[in-house]
Amino acid sequence: MTMSHQASDFVRSRLGFGCASVMGKVSKQEGLRAMHLAFEQGIQHFDIARSYGFGRAESVLGEFMRGRRGQVSVTTKFGVVAPHLSWKTKTLMPVARFVAEQVPAVANRLRKRSGQVLAQKCFDLPYAQACLEHSLRELGTDHVDIYLLHEPPELPDAQRHDLAGFMRRLVQAGKVRHWGVACQHLEDLHWARTMQPDVIQVEGHVMNAHALMSHEPDTQVPLLLTRPFCGGLTQAVQTHVEQVLPGTLQALQQQGLSLGDFALAVALRLAGAQGVVIGAMYTPRHIQHNAQAMQRSQMNPDLQRLLDQWLQPSRTPSDEQRL
């Protein structure tokens, strides 16, 4: 196992494994297999939440971490309320997962229904404490490396103050190493920073890169960036990359690099020296590609020069400036 991805005081690898699909779109067996493969490729940070897998994903990650807690770091979150699943629903989920894999229309309906089920949020201090204790039990650990508020709305000043104080007390007690806020929108970054968190999580990728930079001027707060591949490197992504700097795709091809390599390199640059890029990866091919792209992005000076040019504010398309 390589340690080449280690580069942060906050986590054990700058490329993280996103667990949002575990026990939802991805079964327990598939999730465990992917976690093991990722770990073998040097990916040693795992991102999860109390609500992932309808409240069942943390136990899967806990099973994976058994015997290797000192070799991995973990982020978990609270705030999105995990629903109570009936015995019947739990029994039918594998069937629904199989059908969704075969019929895209079913997958879309299930995705919409999942969003509705997970719409309830709570950021009261007793709930936050209860979630942490539950997460620690499920993960099989006495501490989490990063504990985040999970996509809160803009909170009143008094509630922000109370939550920040609560999180700092968890750090002092040793149950949490660092704390932060997982933002749902770039516009949330401003008020989230007023809480003075250790880290902030937000989407960061080629499609919102310049907008993110405009929201994060000269900040020293490390970023945990999600969706680095924009949910899929579609034609729209390719068009956007070329709009920002014509000839980028050809330059990548000449260097023997792919759009995926470039997308990961952009996300790493946006995250900063102490930041982390979190990707969903569940097939051996995807895991290996991401691990190798991590290596290429860090060791290729030509790619870094291309990034410098592409990320210049003057290169920003006018439609992105309005985001």
pLDDT at 218: 54
Q: For 13-43, how does the pLDDT look when each residue is reduced to its tens digit (9 = 90+)?
A: 999 999 999 998 899 999 999 999 999 999 9
Q: For 36-88, how does the pLDDT look when each residue is reduced to its tens digit (9 = 90+)?
A: 999 999 999 999 999 999 899 999 999 999 999 999 999 999 999 987 655 55
In whole angstroms, give the CA distance from residue 88 to residue 94. 11
**For residue 319, what pLDDT band results from cuts at 50, 70 and 90?**
very low
Of 7 and 79, more confident:
79
In whole angstroms, give the CA distance from residue 57 to residue 139. 9
In whole angstroms, give the CA distance from residue 164 to residue 221. 15
Grouping H, G, I as helix, E, B as strand and the rest as coil, residue 4 is: coil
Q: Are 277 and 15 in contact (CB under 8 A)?
A: yes
Q: For 293-306, how does the pLDDT look when each residue is reduced to its tens digit (9 = 90+)?
A: 888 887 889 999 99
Q: How far, in Å, are 228, 234, 249 from residue 237 at the CA level?
A: 12, 5, 11
Q: Which two tokens stand for residue 144?
A: 């989490």
pLDDT at 143: 97
Q: For 96-134, how does the pLDDT look when each residue is reduced to its tens digit (9 = 90+)?
A: 544 555 556 645 554 555 554 456 899 999 999 999 999
Domains present along the chain, CATH in parentheses:
15-83+118-321 (3.20.20.100)
**Beta strands in 196-267, from DSSP E residues, in sequence order:** 199-203, 223-226
- Model's pTM, two decimal places? 0.86
Q: For 141-199, how does the pLDDT look when each residue is reduced to its tens digit (9 = 90+)?
A: 999 999 999 999 999 999 999 999 999 999 999 999 999 999 999 999 999 999 999 99
For the cut 60, the answer to whether the pLDDT of residue 232 exceeds it is yes
